[in-house]
């Protein structure tokens, strides 16, 4: 009886123990550490990107439908982290998994790919929102998003905050909802907390506002 009670006590504490042992969302380890420490080669990255063009397009501009994001011009550090997170199961992205499995890309090729994509020009012709939620979207963005993603959506390469400027509206909207609902899994906990109360209309408004940011000059 004593052993059973002890087992039940341990099981009841398991969620707390698992949370305490969980790595930080931006911890630099494993393949991410290797990729960040590797000097990527854009020429090799261009070759590696050939298998991605069917979805993300040849210029890495993604799809206006939001099915695939714009990758061109994104911070290399962000790209490395997202690929490493998907491969490690920290981010949920079933569509990407077959194309970035460890038998397809090495950590060194992840670095090559990220360096290549970061250097690509950013087209201002992204899929934009309807423009009807700009006022509310700005209010929400300035309050909850600007401190990390930047006043103009430029992001922060050193802190793994992605550039949201020139990203497709429908992709932004989908990801905001996934993050709010905890389905993306590798998100900054501070962001999850900030947007947890968002309604559908508020998510639409902030995605609308972000989609109209002018891409930063290289």
Q: Could you tell me the pTM of the whole model?
A: 0.88
Cβ count within 10 A of residue 12? 9
CA of residue 92 relative to chain centroid, distance? 11
pLDDT, residue 97, reads 87
Instruction: Answer whether 164's CB lies under 8 Å from 75's CB.
Output: no
pLDDT, residue 152, reads 97
CA–CA dist 140, 57 (Å, integer): 32
Residue 74 burial by Cβ neighbours in a 10 Å radius (0-12, 13-18, 19+) = buried
Q: Which helix (H) or strand (E) holds 53?
A: helix 53-56
The pair of structure tokens assigned to 203 is 């998510």
- Domains for the chain: give ranges and CATH numbers: 27-123 (1.10.760.10), 125-218 (1.10.760.10)
CA–CA dist 195, 18 (Å, integer): 24
Per-residue pLDDT of the chain (218 residues; tens, 9 = 90+): 544 444 344 344 434 444 445 578 999 999 999 999 999 999 999 999 999 999 999 999 999 999 999 999 999 999 999 999 999 999 999 989 888 887 778 999 999 999 999 999 998 899 999 999 999 999 999 999 999 999 999 999 999 999 999 999 999 999 999 999 999 999 999 999 999 999 999 999 999 999 999 998 86
């Amino acid at each position: 009886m004593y052993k059973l009670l002890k087992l039940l006590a341990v099981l009841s504490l398991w969620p707390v123990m698992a949370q305490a042992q969980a790595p930080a969302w931006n911890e630099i380890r494993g393949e991410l550490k290797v990729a960040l420490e590797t000097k990527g080669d854009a020429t090799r990255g261009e070759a590696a990107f050939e298998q991605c063009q069917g979805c993300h397009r040849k210029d890495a501009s993604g799809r206006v439908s939001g099915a695939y994001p714009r990758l061109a011009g994104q911070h290399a550090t962000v790209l490395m982290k997202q690929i490493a997170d998907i491969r490690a199961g920290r981010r949920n992205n079933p569509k990407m998994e077959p194309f970035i499995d460890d038998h397809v890309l090495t950590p060194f090729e992840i670095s090559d790919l990220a360096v290549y994509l970061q250097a690509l020009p950013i087209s201002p012709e992204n899929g934009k929102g309807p423009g009807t939620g700009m006022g509310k979207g700005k209010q929400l963005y300035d309050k909850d998003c600007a401190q990390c993603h930047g006043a103009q959506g430029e992001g922060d390469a050193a802190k793994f905050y992605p550039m949201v400027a020139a990203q497709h509206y429908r992709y932004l909207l989908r990801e905001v909802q996934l993050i709010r609902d905890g389905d993306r899994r590798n998100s900054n906990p501070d962001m999850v907390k900030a947007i947890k109360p968002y309604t559908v209309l508020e998510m639409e408004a902030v995605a609308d506002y972000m989609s109209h940011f002018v891409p930063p000059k290289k």
